[in-house]
Amino acid sequence: MPVLALVGCAHIHVPGFIKKLQQRPDFRVKSVWDYDTDRAARRAAELNASVVADFNAIYADSEIEAVIVCSETDRHETLVLPAAAAKKHLFVEKPLGFGAEDARRMAHAIDAAGVLFQTGYFMRGQPMHLFLKEQIAQGTFGKITRIRHSNCHQGSLGGWFDTEWRWMADPAQAGVGAYGDLGTHSLDILMWLMGDVASVTARLSVVTERYGDCDESGEGLLQFSNGVLGTLAAGWVDVANPITALISGTEGHAIVRDGEVFITSQHLPDTDGKTPYTELPAAQSSGFDLFLDALAGNASAPLVTAQEAAARSVVMSAMYQAHQDKAWVNIG
């Protein structure tokens, strides 16, 4: 039975992860640490685990095989580097880095340690994204000219970050605002489908001022190394987000609307772009579930690599820099 520890309990996804762990009797959570001792005690009680006063005690515990890092993003490097040095398998909530350089340092340390790694990108396992990746590989779209992904909700409008999760709307702790928080998921899908990014630009905006000068909405352009132009929308001030993906090429076109795929291509008979396409792959495990599967012995679990996670932090950091400079920024 793999023995785990929760290191940092700040992230909004912690309650969901705890629920998953409660449903997995093949795992045991031994220890919980957070600098906020009340928060640590509450989560430890839910996991029937012990509170640890110093996270280094977790890394020194030989019984603990893996740690789940769900702290504020500005604490990631402080928690991740010693965990990697102690050869603990790592789940680190997204984004990996507060910025580009710390993300690169963490990825290097994780790879050097040779431990399992996963982060909180869960969209890869969704049927529509698996389908789009398959069709790109099969040439269904011909020469792709543009691609778009959008990930938006009404978090600011609903005050989702007013109390317990307030740090997520504080760029001093999160490193980003709404655009980086939700946009990193879209960025993962875009890079998973299209590969490396050569240059970016973006414009971000404060809309409600509910969280001061924290950005709440944004739109970015990405020039991929393969020549495809991408657009990425993300924000917390959207009352609806019906069209989440679009791919356009010389031989095909597809959109994802309300979770359904509409596609037309000369390579797919009887597709008109108006009728939902239903022959999609089955959903796959993703995100946190994949990490648990890998720890349980599934050697083929398709985890996000540390280098992939770092690359998303690098590109997102460049998009924020592009907004500040009002320019295109090359990805170094």
CATH of the domain at 130: 3.30.360.10
Phi, psi of 324 (to 5 degrees): -65, -40
Residues 104 and 229 in one domain: no
Q: For residue 326, is it within any domain?
A: no
**H runs (alpha helix) in the chain:** 14-22, 37-47, 55-59, 76-85, 100-113, 127-138, 155-158, 171-174, 178-194, 288-295, 306-325
Residues 90 and 176 in one domain: no
Residues 16 and 54 in one domain: yes
Q: For residue 14, is it within any domain?
A: yes
In whole angstroms, give the CA distance from residue 249 to residue 141. 5
**First vs last C-alpha separation in the chain:** 42
**264 to 231, 248, 277: CA distances (angstroms):** 21, 10, 9
The predicted pLDDT at position 274 comes to: 96
- Say which amino acid occupies 75: R
* pTM as predicted: 0.97
User: Structural domain of residue 104, as residue ranges?
Assistant: 3-119
Helix (H) or strand (E) holding 143, with range, is none
The predicted pLDDT at position 332 comes to: 83
Residues 245 and 269 in one domain: yes
Q: For residue 25, is it within any domain?
A: yes
**Structure tokens given for 254:** 């597809």
Number of neighbours of residue 332 by Cβ within 10 angstroms: 6
Residues 66 and 198 in one domain: no
The predicted pLDDT at position 190 comes to: 98
In whole angstroms, give the CA distance from residue 44 to residue 299. 29
Domain finish residue from 68, 99, 119 = 119
Domain finish residue from 80, 104, 119 = 119
The predicted pLDDT at position 129 comes to: 98
pLDDT per residue as tens, the chain (332 positions) = 899 999 999 999 999 999 999 999 999 999 999 999 999 999 999 999 999 999 999 999 999 999 999 999 999 999 999 999 999 999 999 999 999 999 999 999 999 999 999 999 999 999 999 999 999 999 999 999 999 999 999 999 999 999 999 999 999 999 999 999 999 999 999 999 999 999 999 999 999 999 999 999 999 999 999 999 999 999 999 999 999 999 999 999 999 999 999 999 999 999 999 999 999 999 999 899 999 999 999 999 999 999 999 999 999 999 999 999 999 999 98
Q: Which has the closest alpha carbon to 312: 120, 87, 158, 96? A: 96
Residues 81 and 221 in one domain: no
Q: Which has the closest alpha carbon to 292: 9, 24, 22, 12? A: 24
Query: 45 CB contacts (<8 Å, ≥6 apart)?
Result: none
Q: Which has the closest alpha carbon to 286: 127, 134, 125? A: 125
In whole angstroms, give the CA distance from residue 120 to residue 137. 25
Residues 59 and 139 in one domain: no
Residue 241 buriedness (CB in 10 A; 0-12 / 13-18 / 19+):
middle
**Structure tokens given for 32:** 């919980």
Q: For residue 309, is it within any domain?
A: no
Q: For residue 60, is it within any domain?
A: yes
Domain finish residue from 119, 139, 171 = 119
Phi, psi of 139 (to 5 degrees): 80, 20
> Do 70 and 17 contact (CB within 8 A), yes or no?
yes
Residues 100 and 224 in one domain: no
Q: For residue 224, is it within any domain?
A: yes
Residues 173 and 213 in one domain: yes
Residues 81 and 145 in one domain: no
Q: For residue 12, is it within any domain?
A: yes
Q: Up-side HSE of residue 34: CA atoms within 13 Å toward CB?
A: 21
Residues 7 and 106 in one domain: yes
Helix (H) or strand (E) holding 141, with range, is none
Q: For residue 304, is it within any domain?
A: no
Residue 52's domain is classified under what CATH number? 3.40.50.720
Q: Total domain count for the chain? A: 2
Residues 130 and 186 in one domain: yes
